[in-house]
């Protein structure tokens, strides 16, 4: 495919994502239902995560994404979550990828997990203007080639068994992504002492996250 055609397709895809993002924003601002507003905001975040991934996937450079791409991608995801909620002045969100590179399919799954878990922390862990921090880290497990994604906050914590029993779309999506990565999702949380989500998965050249067969 000629470079000019690739450029045209890329711009069309970016414009389409921008349109969907804008339409969801209009719906969010017009609704007077608090639950609907939260759903529209979460949907906008998911659309943005996928749009950011396409910005990496459609780069003209040859080869797959590198470690710098993974770091920039995940950092932009959490910055988007902060801007959407206006929490920058009271909740610090840090990202550390330890120089790890991911395939595009791994980036898609990990990016959505980071987005959902960080948004969940910003929405629920720091009520009543509580201050605190959220740390998202991607690292290698000791003694193996497995990767480990952790999202830890020092907020109010979750009641026992809340994560396992929650029917919310965000945590349901994270559990689904963990299964698609053939990974294991665990969490530790005590009321008043924060929450620690950990996703461990095997890194592969072509992650099984989006296989359809």
CA distance readout (Å), 137 to 47, 177, 196: 22, 17, 11
> What share of the chain has pLDDT > 70, as a percent?
83
Adjacency order of strands within the sheet including 146-153: 91-96, 132-140, 146-153, 195-202, 184-189
What is the reported pTM?
A: 0.83
Query: What is the rounded average pLDDT for all residues in the chain?
Result: 83
Residue 62 has pLDDT above 60, yes or no: no
Contact call for residues 52 and 111 (beta carbons, < 8 A): yes
For residue 166, the model assigns a pLDDT of 61
Where do the domains of the chain lie? 64-210
Spelled out in words, what is the top-level CATH class assigned to the domain 64-210? alpha beta
Residue 209 has pLDDT above 70, yes or no: no
Residue 70 has pLDDT above 80, yes or no: yes
């Amino acid at each position: 495919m000629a470079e000019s055609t690739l450029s045209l397709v890329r711009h069309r895809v970016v414009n389409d994502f921008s349109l969907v993002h804008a339409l969801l924003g209009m719906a969010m601002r017009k609704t007077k239902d608090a639950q609907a507003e939260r759903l529209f905001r979460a949907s906008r975040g998911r659309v943005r995560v996928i749009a950011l991934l396409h910005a990496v996937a459609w780069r003209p450079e040859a080869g797959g994404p590198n470690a710098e791409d993974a770091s920039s991608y995940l950092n932009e995801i959490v910055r988007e979550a902060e801007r959407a909620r206006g929490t920058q002045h009271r909740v610090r969100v840090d990202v550390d990828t330890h120089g790890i590179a991911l395939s595009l399919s791994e980036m898609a799954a990990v990016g959505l997990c980071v987005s959902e878990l960080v948004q969940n922390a910003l929405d629920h862990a720091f009520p009543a203007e509580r201050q605190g921090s959220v740390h998202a880290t991607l690292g290698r497990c000791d003694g193996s080639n497995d990767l480990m994604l952790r999202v830890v906050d020092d907020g109010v914590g979750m009641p026992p068994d809340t994560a396992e029993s929650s029917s919310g779309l965000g945590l349901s999506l994270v559990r689904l992504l963990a299964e698609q990565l053939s990974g294991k999702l665990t969490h530790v949380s005590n009321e008043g002492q924060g929450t620690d989500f950990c996703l461990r998965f095997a890194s592969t050249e072509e992650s099984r996250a989006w296989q359809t067969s």
